[in-house]
């Protein structure tokens, strides 16, 4: 059986650059797997970019850009659906506690890694015939590359590291193919988003910001019924909808780039 080789496509700078590198035959991957966490959950600008630019580019260059979804009980499940309907029992995303520490995170594993893994198994990947799965971690975040995180039927590789490519190199690579640079990819209400990004959403996309506030409100409403303390989508210890109110002091910007540490979402 021939080796199964796929690239984990997150829709951001690194994976879009990798798509171009594959078209230029600088990396040996022809299949790109995009695990879509839901039209109500993914950054809408990422979804729009993939539809308008990435997918047509892949098709024009003989690459397979395959969109996957999490299936649960015969229907498609999204992250937002799970949060809004689980009555607080499955928060899924790494919300912050009042002390600023993040809670547990299962979104990447259950909606990205395992969804892609199901496709790999359906296409012949086993513990004895592992698929090679490329992840778009670039040289500037080399510390996040960890082959030991692979699940039993895959082998993780990092082709951008082999080429010495940094995140700052990606826009040049993307533009060299005549493509615009994509927006930063992430879940639309990801707690890893920085304060300036939340502020920009509040100012320029109020309806989108309100939907994110609704996620936080719903989680806390269910926690309150159980007598538990509230959690937040930022590390400020304050409700998201109160951060940018008139007369409210803007929280200090958090400049650390924590993000998801395995490269499946933000690349």
Dihedral sign, CA of 235, 43, 85, 66?
Answer: negative
- Mean pLDDT (whole number) for 89-99: 82
Average pLDDT of the segment spanning 81-94: 80
CATH number 1.10.3470 is the correct assignment for the domain at 5-82+108-176: no
Q: ∠ CA(234), CA(235), CA(237), 5° rounding?
A: 95
Helices (H), 29-85: 44-49, 55-60, 79-85
Closest CA to 15 of 221, 215, 225, 159: 159
Over residues 147-176, the pLDDT tens digits come to: 878 889 999 999 999 999 999 999 999 999
pLDDT of residue 186: 87
pLDDT at residue 267, as a whole number: 80
Give the distance from CA 218 to its chain's centroid.
22
| Unique residue bearing structure tokens 């933000």 | 266
Q: Whose CA is closest to 131, among 32, 263, 5?
A: 5
Higher-confidence residue: 145 or 208?
208
Tens of pLDDT along 228-252? 899 999 999 999 999 998 766 566 5
Tell me the helices (H) and strands (E) count for the chain, helix number first.
Answer: 10, 7
Cβ atoms within 10 A of the Cβ of 20, count?
23
Are 144 and 262 in contact by the 8 Å Cβ rule? The answer is yes
Q: Mark 206-231 as b/e (b = at least 16 C-beta within 10 Å).
A: eebbebbbbbbebbbebbeeeeeebb
Closest CA to 167 of 185, 147, 191, 189: 185
37-69 pLDDT tens trace: 999 999 999 999 999 999 999 999 999 999 999
Place of tokens 């949060």: 83
Confidence of residue 97 (pLDDT cuts 50, 70, 90): confident
Contacts of 266 (CB under 8 A, 6+ apart): 10, 12, 184, 185, 186, 192, 259, 260
Rounded to two decimals, the pTM is: 0.91
Taking the C-alpha atoms of residue 123 and residue 69, their distance in angstroms, rounded to an integer, is 16
Rg (C-alpha) for the chain, rounded Å, is: 19
DSSP 109: I
Q: What φ, ψ does residue 202 adopt, rounded to 5°?
A: -60, -40
Which position has the higher pLDDT, 89 or 130?
A: 130
User: Residue 44: is it exposed, middle or buried by C-beta count within 10 angstroms (0-12/13-18/19+)?
Assistant: middle
């Amino acid at each position: 059986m021939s080796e199964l080789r796929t690239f984990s496509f997150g829709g951001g700078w690194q994976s879009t650059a990798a798509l171009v590198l594959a078209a230029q035959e600088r990396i040996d991957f022809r299949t790109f797997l995009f695990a879509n966490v839901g039209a109500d959950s993914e950054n809408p600008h990422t979804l729009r970019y993939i539809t308008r630019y990435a997918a047509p580019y892949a098709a024009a260059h003989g690459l397979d850009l395959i969109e996957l979804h999490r299936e649960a009980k015969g229907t498609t499940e999204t992250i937002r659906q799970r949060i809004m309907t689980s009555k607080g029992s499955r928060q899924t995303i790494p919300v912050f506690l009042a002390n600023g520490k993040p809670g547990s995170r299962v979104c990447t594993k259950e909606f990205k890694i395992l969804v892609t893994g199901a496709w790999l198994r359906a296409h012949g990947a086993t513990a004895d015939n592992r698929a090679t799965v490329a992840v778009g971690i670039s040289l500037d975040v080399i510390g996040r590359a960890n082959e030991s995180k692979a699940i039993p039927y895959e082998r993780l590789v990092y082709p951008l590291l082999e080429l010495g490519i940094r995140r700052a190199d990606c826009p040049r690579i993307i533009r060299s193919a005549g493509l615009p640079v994509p927006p930063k990819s992430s879940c639309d209400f990801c707690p890893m988003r920085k304060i300036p990004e939340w502020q920009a959403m509040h100012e320029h996309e109020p309806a989108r910001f309100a939907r994110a506030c609704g996620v936080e409100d719903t989680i806390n409403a269910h926690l309150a019924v159980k007598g538990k303390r509230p959690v937040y989508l930022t590390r400020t210890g304050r409700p998201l909808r109160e951060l940018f109110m008139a007369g409210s002091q803007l929280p200090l910007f958090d400049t650390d780039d924590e993000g998801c540490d395995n490269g499946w979402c933000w690349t």
